[in-house]
Amino acid sequence: MSRKACGILIAGVIAAALCSGQQAADADKTASFAGLVNNALTGEPMVRAHVALRGTANGTQKQYGATTTAEGKFSITGISPGRYQISVDKVGFVMAPGSGSRASLNLQEKDKKEGYQVKLLPTGAIVGRVMDAEGEPVEGASVSTEGGMMAVAQTDEKGFFRIGGLAPGKYRLKAVGPGAMPVGPEHRTDGTEEAHYVRTYYPGVISAKEAAMVEVRPNGEASGADIRLARFPWVRVSGRVIGLPENFERAIVIARTLNGFGNAGTSMVKPDGSFEIWRIDPGKALLSANLGVSGNRLERTPEKEIEVGGANLDGIELRVVPDADLAGRVEFEDEAARQLFSPPASGPSPAANNGQPARNQAAGGQQPRPRKQILLQNVSTYSGAPPAPIDETGVFLLKKVPAGKYRVTIQPGSVYVRSMQLGPQSIEGNVLDLSNGATGTDLSVLVSSKVGSITGVVVDAHGEAAGTRVVLAFDSAGNPNSRRYATAGPDGTYQFNDLAPGTYKLVAVQDSDSDSVVQFAGLDLYEDLMETVEIHPGDKVVKELKRRAPGEP
C-alpha cells in the first residue's frame, strides 16, 4: 500500500473515531420520557396507543414516538433537549380534558421525565336527518360540527347523516344544502317557485347564536339531531367593475362570508364590467374582483364589505387600483424607541476571541438585534403586503402594495405605531386606508416604546385552567387581524405583550369552542362574557379571567 493511501486510510479511521466519540457524547446529553395511558372511564390500560412528541431542538424540527405496551406503558429515549408538544392517538379515543390535550414538555439535558399519565375518552357520534321546509329529505347536504373538533358528513337519499369519532362535549351543527350554481331562481310557469335554502344551524335557525347545542357523551350516540333547512328570499348582488384595463382577458367577482364558511358566490365580469351574484348567505360578506391581464399579470380591486339581508343589493362599484410601491420613514416619539432601531454598541473584536464571535453579553459583547421590519396586514383578511426592512436611518420601501385598508405594525415588537402621516393626511393610530392606492405618496410612521401588557390567570370551578385559549380583540368588527391569541400555561397564566394604548376585549373560551373561535371567527358567541380592558401608555394590567360556558351567569 502506498504511503498516500495509507495516510488516507489512517485519516478516515481517526475521523470515524472522532465522529463516534462525538455521537456518544451527544447521546449522554439526551433526555427520556415515560408514562402510562389509561381509559378515562374504566381505568384499564390502553394497548397500542401512539404517543408522540413534536417540537424543536437546536432550531431543528424533531419528532419522537412510541407505542404503549399491554400494560399501557410507554417509554421514549434519546430525545434531544428542547420543547415538545405531546399527543396520544388511538382509533375511537381522544385525550380527556385536562389530560394534556395542549400539553407541552420542556426537556433539558439528561432529563428523565417518568410517571406521566394520560387518560383517553371513547369518542361518540351525532346522528340526525336534514329536511327541507316541507319535511322532505334532502340528499347530498353537507353537515358539519362547530365546537371541540370539526367533522363533516353527507346526507344519504333519505336525508340521514352520521358524524362519528367526536370528542365528548357540546357541538353546534350546521347544514348546507347541495351545491348550486350562483344564478337566479328558475323561471317557472306552473305557479311554483324554486326554494332558496341557506346555511342552517340545528334545529332550524340561521344564526350561530340561536343554535341549540348537541351533547356528545363518551361512547354514546346523540340521535335525533334533525335540521330543517331555512328558506330565505332570493337576493341579488350586482354592480360594475370600474377601471378595467383595455388588455384584461378575464375578471371574476368573488363574495366570501366574513364570519364562518357559509355560501358565498362568484360571477364572471361581462365586457362592460357588470356582474351579478345570487345565493349568498345572509350576513356580512366581502366583495372583490380579480383580473387577469396580458402577460399572466393579475390585478384586483380593494375588498368592499356588504351586508346581505332580505333585499337586493344593486349598484355596487368595485374600482381597479394598480399595486404601487410605498416609500416612507420611521420617526421616534422617545429616545427609548430610537435606541431599539439603533445597532448595539460594538463589543470586543473577533480576534480577541480567537476569531470567534462573543458567546454572550457577559463575555463583553452584545447580541445583534433582529432587523426591524414594517408590516401591513389587511384589516379584514389574513393577506397583506410583503414586509419591508427598515434601515438604520428609519427609511423603508414597501413594494407592490395592493389597494386596501391595513393595520401597520413594526416587527419584532417593543414599539407601537402611535400616528402616521400619508402625504398631507394626518392619521391617529395604526390603521392606514389605501383603498385608492399608494401612488405618489410618502408615509411617515411615528413609533413609541410605551407599550402596555396584560397578564393574569385563567380559573374555572376547579382552579387554574391550564391550556385555555385566551382571545384578545381590539376591533369590534370581528376582523381576523384584530385579534391575538394566547394559551394559558400549566399554572393557568397567560400574557399579552407589546400592546398599543386602547380599549381591548378579553375572554377565556371553552375548550369545545377554542378551535372554532379561531377558524370560524366565532367570538360573537362570547359577546356577553368579554372583559373590557383599557390600556394607557406603558400600562401593565393584571386581569384574572374566569372560564365560563356561553350563557352562564
For 457, the 3-state DSSP assignment is strand
- As given in the structure block, the three cell numbers for residue 385 are 403586503
Question: Given the DSSP bridges, would you call strands 324-332 and 442-448 parallel, antiparallel or unpaired?
Answer: parallel
CA torsion 185-186-188-192 (nearest 10°) is -50
> Residue 74: exposed, middle, or buried by beta-carbon count in 10 A (0-12, 13-18, 19+)?
buried
- pLDDT for 347 equals 45
Task: Give the residues of the chain that fall short of pLDDT 50.
Answer: 13, 16-18, 21-25, 100-101, 345-364, 476-477, 519-521, 549-553
Nearest to 149 by CA among 130, 168, 162: 168
> Residue 502: exposed, middle, or buried by beta-carbon count in 10 A (0-12, 13-18, 19+)?
middle
Do 124-186+195-231 and 237-319 come out as alike in CATH topology? Answer: yes
Phi, psi of 310 (to 5 degrees): -95, 10
Side chain identity, residue 142: S
Q: 13: phi > 0 → left, psi -120 to 50 → alpha, else beta; which? A: alpha
DSSP output for 260-319: SS---EEEEPPTTSEEEE--PPSEEEEEEEEEEETTTEEEE---EEEEE-SS-EEEEEEE
Cα–Cα distance measured from residue 394 to residue 329, given in angstroms and rounded to the nearest whole number: 5
- pLDDT for 179 equals 74
pTM: 0.73
Is 75 within 8 Å of 87 (Cβ atoms)?
Answer: no
Architecture of the domain defined by 452-546? Sandwich (2.60)
Of how many residues is the chain composed? 553
CATH (one of 1.10.10, 2.60.40, 1.10.3470, 3.40.50) for 237-319 = 2.60.40
- pLDDT for 89 equals 92
Model pLDDT for residues 14-32, shown as the tens digit of each residue: 554 445 544 444 557 899 9
- pLDDT for 416 equals 93
Cα–Cα distance measured from residue 99 to residue 218, given in angstroms and rounded to the nearest whole number: 15
Cα–Cα distance measured from residue 201 to residue 41, given in angstroms and rounded to the nearest whole number: 31
Model pLDDT for residues 310-348, shown as the tens digit of each residue: 899 999 999 988 888 999 999 999 999 988 887 654 444
Peptide bond into 412 cis (omega under 30): yes
Q: Where are the domains of the chain?
A: 25-122, 124-186+195-231, 237-319, 324-344+369-448, 452-546
CATH code for 324-344+369-448?
2.60.40
Name the CATH superfamily housing domain 124-186+195-231: Immunoglobulins (2.60.40.10)
Query: What element of type H or E holds 29?
Result: none
- pLDDT for 491 equals 86
Is 175 within 8 Å of 141 (Cβ atoms)?
Answer: yes
Is 520 within 8 Å of 199 (Cβ atoms)?
Answer: no
CATH code for 25-122?
2.60.40.1120
Residues ≥6 apart with Cβ < 8 Å to 24: none
Is 536 within 8 Å of 452 (Cβ atoms)?
Answer: yes
Residues ≥6 apart with Cβ < 8 Å to 294: 247, 249
- pLDDT for 265 equals 79
Q: Which residue has the cell 398599543?
A: 500
- pLDDT for 22 equals 47
Is 330 within 8 Å of 394 (Cβ atoms)?
Answer: yes
Is 169 within 8 Å of 148 (Cβ atoms)?
Answer: yes
Nearest to 143 by CA among 212, 77, 202: 202
Cα–Cα distance measured from residue 250 to residue 269, given in angstroms and rounded to the nearest whole number: 7
Query: What element of type H or E holds 89?
Result: strand 82-89
Cα–Cα distance measured from residue 530 to residue 509, given in angstroms and rounded to the nearest whole number: 10
Is 111 within 8 Å of 57 (Cβ atoms)?
Answer: no
- pLDDT for 57 equals 84
Is 317 within 8 Å of 324 (Cβ atoms)?
Answer: no
Radius of gyration of the chain, Cα coordinates, nearest whole angstrom: 29
